[in-house]
Structures are given as C-alpha cells and as structure tokens.
Amino acid sequence: MSDWIEEHGVVVTADEAWATVRVERRSTCGSCSARSGCGNGVLSEVLGRRSLELRLANSHRLRPGDRVTLGVRDQALVSGAFAMYLLPLLGMMLVPITMGWMLPGLADGFLILAGVAGFALGLAGVRRWLRSQGDRFEPVLLGRQPAGETPTPSTGRGPIAR
C-alpha cells in the first residue's frame, strides 16, 4: 500500500512564489452497490461534483495548464480525521456528564448548553492541535506533467525532488 493519498489536479494560476491547483472532488460512491441507501451516496448526488482550489509554493516552476499529482501522507489524514471527529464528540459528551455529576440538580436545558459548549471546546482543541502540526497536512507535489505532454504514471513513492 502506498504511503500517500493521491489526487490529480490542474494548475490554474502560477507566479514565481505560488501556484493555485484545482482538484476535482471524487467519490467512490458511484461504484458501491449500496449507494442508493447510503447517506454519502445521496449527499454526493445532491451536492454534485465540486472542485477545490489549493495554493502551493511554486518551487517547481509550475505553469497554468500543468497537470499535477498531489499527495498527503495517509497516516496524517487518518490522525487528522480521528481528531476532527473524536475531540468535539468527547467534549459534547464529557462536559455535560461532568456538569451533571458535579451539580446533580442541574436542569436539562443547562446540560444541553453544556454539551454545545463542550462541542465548541472540542473544535477549539482541534484547531489548536492542527496549528501545532505545522505543514504535516499540507499537500505535497508528487508528480508533474507539463501542459501538452503525454501523461506519465505516478510512482507513489514520495514527493518529487526539489
């Protein structure tokens, strides 16, 4: 298995310092047999295909029209998703439980507000954690196909040399 989650994109704009890459969001829901009963499948049909624009340092002299392969380490993606889901969920559960234990006669409305506050604290914790990770979650250029050339397959071995 590759160490990288790869996406393909096209350079939209580029100058000497930065390049903007447009990546089409893909979903594997079209190939799944349960797509009609799955929330992700229904949501992807409703929202349609949207593109995402990323800004990268242009150390490889990318030009508009170049096709690129971007990657994020799969371990970083998994740990980021784990934190994004787990911290707000834990905050939403643990804060009201702790408040209910410390103040046994507290009304349900206050416990609901405590859950909302715990959720917000969890999101703030995620934001702080993400900022402490530096560029760990930044996409890396894995491959480049200059505009007008035939495609070359990506090796999946890591970023191209700088």
| 59-74 pLDDT, tens digit each | 889 999 999 999 988 8
Q: What is the pLDDT of residue 33?
A: 64
In this model, does residue 153 exceed pLDDT 80?
no
Cα–Cα nearest to 15, from 61, 48, 72: 61
Domain-located, residue 108: yes
How far apart CA 24 and CA 144 sit, in angstroms, is: 17
Domain-located, residue 154: no
Q: What is the pLDDT of residue 30?
A: 57
- Which range marks the domain in which residue 75 is found? 4-27+48-145
Q: What is the pLDDT of residue 2?
A: 63
Q: Tens of pLDDT along 138-151? A: 888 999 998 877 65
Query: Of the ranges 27-31, 33-37, 52-56, 142-146, which one carries the lowest mean pLDDT score?
Result: 27-31
Q: Is the separation of the CB atoms in 144 and 160 below 8 Å?
A: yes
Domain-located, residue 158: no
Domain-located, residue 43: no
Q: Tens of pLDDT along 78-133? A: 999 999 999 999 999 999 999 999 999 999 999 999 999 999 999 999 999 999 99
Domain-located, residue 12: yes
Domain-located, residue 41: no
Q: What is the pLDDT of residue 39?
A: 65
Tally of domains within the chain: 1
Burial per residue of 50-59, b for 16 or more beta-carbon CB atoms within 10 angstroms, e otherwise: eeeebebebe
Q: What is the pLDDT of residue 50?
A: 73
Domain-located, residue 151: no
